[in-house]
Structure 1
Amino acid sequence: MHDLPPHGAADNGSPLDDDFIQLLSESGERMPNAEFDPWVRDIGAAGLAALYDDLVVVRRLDTEATALQRQGELGLWPPMLGQEAAQIGSARALHPDDFVFTSYRENAVAYCRGVGLTDLVKVWRGNAQSGWDPASVGMAVPAIIIGAQTLHATGWALGAQFDGADSVAVTYFGDGATSEGDVNEAMVFAASFQVPVVFFCQNNQWAISEPVGLQARVHIAERAPGFGIPSLRVDGNDVLAVMAATRVALDRARSGGGPTFIEAVTYRMGPHTTADDPTRYRDPADLARWAERDPILRLRRLLDAEGLFTPEFEAATAAHADAAAAELRAGCIGLADPEPLSVFDNVYTTPQATLDRQRAGYAAYLASFESSDTRSSNEGASV
């Protein structure tokens, strides 16, 4: 079991406060850290290149999905622009038999877990009630109710503990969710039973239009120790630091050490969803400061300094991203409209009388339109 280092205190919860674990500076320089370097020692040239490819591809998918929404092909989309390193660094640390419970923004995590690209947009196009089979990828479908997934993760982890499985539940949520009762109740339960769960908070500085400083007068990571859960605060735009912190937490859980809370300090570069206008509440200067901390630019600078960012590598990565975006677009537009009565499918595992009555009522309602169309056609023919 790994002993976690003590967590420092915050002064005012400033989003640009550097009181966190960092292995890669904004300029792309590797920063030695005796505590966390061993956890990413296996990430050599090929590993860095693969992480960069991940970051570029998921950003391209995100911008493509945003464009699809603007073009009327999706009803809504929750962008993750700027949060790619927090999601990729943590998701690439997971084992295949771990299980993930997320909110609605973790599309990069879903990509790493092997979720099909078209499955990412089914719900947002209104074609399905959920996007994929959770068991096949080790990841539950997104939770829209803020913070509810932390309870699901804690329950799953308790079951894994009872089964003696070497698996960990990881639950993702935002800074705003930490003020929800569900998240706090999940941490109480997880600490009480010392279950193997990692609470991964992406502090992107905004709960829709509310800045994090309004709800957290100290670092969010400082809340967890009050429940008896050790915490780590990491630079969420540093993919290596995120991976190291997540590996520490996973190792602790697998070793019987119980839950860990990770606060990944990042920034939401775009809107909360495509229905939001962040220019109404966000200072452009703040956005410009965070743009210098861009996770992709940072890793590119490291690759360039080490002679790994060649024209061939750049072209191959761009081609991969474009191909993924094209697959997402084609899959989205090619989705067939579901049959209206399919909305009642898979609600319960066994027949349920109330649902059957609702299905029959809706079927009669739909049939009334067909009767009306038939009457109109007959009347027109007789004339």
Structure 2
Amino acid sequence: MVSTASPPARTALRPTAPAAGDERLTGRLGEPEDHRLYRRMRFIRRFEETLLALFEEGVLNGTTHACIGQEADAVAVMEHLGDVDHVFSNHRCHGHYLARTGDALGLLAEIMGKEAGVCRGKGGSQHICAPGFKSNGVQGGIVPAAAGIAMAGQLDGSGMVSVVFIGDGTLGEGAVYETMNMASLWRLPLLVVCEDNRWAQSTPVEANLAGGMAARFEAFDVPVREIDSTDVLELSEAARAELDAVRAGGGPRVLLIHTYRLCHHSKSDDERPAEEIAAHWLVEPLVVHGRRLADADRRAIDDEVELALAEVVATARNLP
């Protein structure tokens, strides 16, 4: 069912593995939760916008897939992961990586093809290999790998959870269902986070997906929590509950988030109705959560994020 409930009461949620990096981007020690969550989403938003600007400037080559509008999903899930847990992502991976690691310089240098990049400049925008984090641009291809790591964790008794982010377009890939079959049979500690941004590139989901999304997982006896929200607090509570259930030995679970991608699929390919996009800008994550902050506090965080990212860009430009 799609969630229609009011946002949950705010509790003292704290990540067990705080993102590393500049605290102006990831959050200051003792900072109020509302401020920290806003800061982390603002960090991802401005990183992606900066990246697109660098492409326009001609500094970057190839392509990239920004997650503008989906920042709350990444932050909400990473709030509840520990050092032992593993995250897998896809071609739209920047928000997931930044929320997990806080490593703005390593990611930007990687996309620039620099030696100091997280993969020495060889992975680019889509293919990241870092401790506790892997991403790959092959649709569905990362899901079996996520299940394999979940199985390894189950066998060695580490108590880890494997989390894999997929999109609605990936639901057309057979590898997903082969994996869900085995994950369910073996009760693997796997959480699938399906970000339904309502469009597969420039095709509306109703034009390329038959049946229900949740039903596809439920066919393998995998529980699904379905939520339609851009509120980071509501999403955080849902992610916490699902991860707790996986850690308790309940087997694989799915967090199905109906979200929206405010930017184009890649750098310039967007055939969606302009009025539809405009309507979603009114309820995007930073607007929804930003209302909980005083104007002065929000502006102060914005300024700090802007300064920190400007320093990251200047450093990255000068790297060999």
TM-score bucket of the superposed structures, by smaller chain: 0.7 to 0.9
Q: CA deviation at 1:233?
A: 0.9
Q: Mean Cα displacement is larger for which, 110-119 or 236-245?
A: 110-119
Deviation string, structure 1 residues 151-179 (Cα, Å, up to 9, x no partner): 11100000000011111000011110111
Q: Offset of 1:277 from its aligned partner?
A: 2.3
Q: What's the counterpart of residue 269 of structure 2? A: 277
Report the AA paired with residue 120 of structure 1.
Answer: L
Alignment partner, residue 224 of structure 1? 217
Q: Report the alpha carbon displacement of residue 82 of structure 1 after superposing the two structures with TM.
A: 0.6
1:20 match: 3
Residue 309 of structure 1 corresponds to which residue in structure 2? Answer: 294
Show CA shifts across 1:181-223 (max 9, x none).
Answer: 1222221121111100100011111111111112334442232
What aligned pairs does 1:1-383 form with structure 2 within 5 A after superposition? 8=1, 19-20=2-3, 22-24=5-7, 41-43=11-13, 46-75=32-61, 76-127=63-114, 128-130=121-123, 134-135=130-131, 138-140=132-134, 142-274=135-267, 276-278=268-270, 281-301=271-291, 303=292, 308-311=293-296, 313-336=297-320
User: Which residue does the alignment assign to 1:12?
Assistant: none
One-letter code aligned to 1:78: H
Closer, same or farther: CA 21–194 of 1 in aligned 2, 3 Å: farther
Q: Is the 8 A contact 1:235 1:241 kept in 2?
A: no
Residue 278 of structure 2 aligns to which amino acid in structure 1? A
The number of aligned residues is 294
Deviations, residues 239-292 of structure 1 (Å, cap 9, x unaligned): 112111111111111111011111111111111111x321xx211121122122
Q: Judging changes above 3 Å, is the alpha-carbon distance between structure 1 residues 166 and 122 closer, same or farther for their aligned structure 2 residues?
A: same
Q: Deviations over 1:330-370 (max 9, x none)?
A: 2432232xxxxxxxxxxxxxxxxxxxxxxxxxxxxxxxxxx
Match of 2:22 in 1: none
Compute the displacement of 1:123 (Å).
Answer: 4.2
User: Match of 1:113, SS?
Assistant: helix
Structural RMSD (CA)? 2.0
What CA distance in whole angstroms lies between the structure 2 residues aligned with 1:213 and 1:85? Answer: 24
Larger radius of gyration: 1
DSSP 3-state at the match of 1:227: coil
Identity of aligned residues (%): 28
**Change over 3 Å in CA distance of 1:163–1:21 after alignment to 2:** farther
- Residues 290, 218 of structure 1: alpha-carbon distance in 2 compared, 3 angstrom cutoff: farther
Secondary structure of the 2:314 match is helix
Unaligned runs of at least 5 residues, structure 1: 1-7, 9-18, 25-31, 337-383
Residues 83, 237 of structure 1: 8 Å contact kept: yes
3-state secondary structure, aligned to 1:121: helix
Distance 1:74-1:42 versus aligned 2 partners, 3 A rule: same
Shift of 1:317: 0.5
Distance in 1 (alpha carbons) for counterparts of 2:308 and 2:97:
14
8 Å contact kept, 2:76–2:233:
yes
Q: Secondary structure at the match of 2:163?
A: strand
Q: Residues of 1 paired with 2:83 and 2:160: CA distance? A: 9
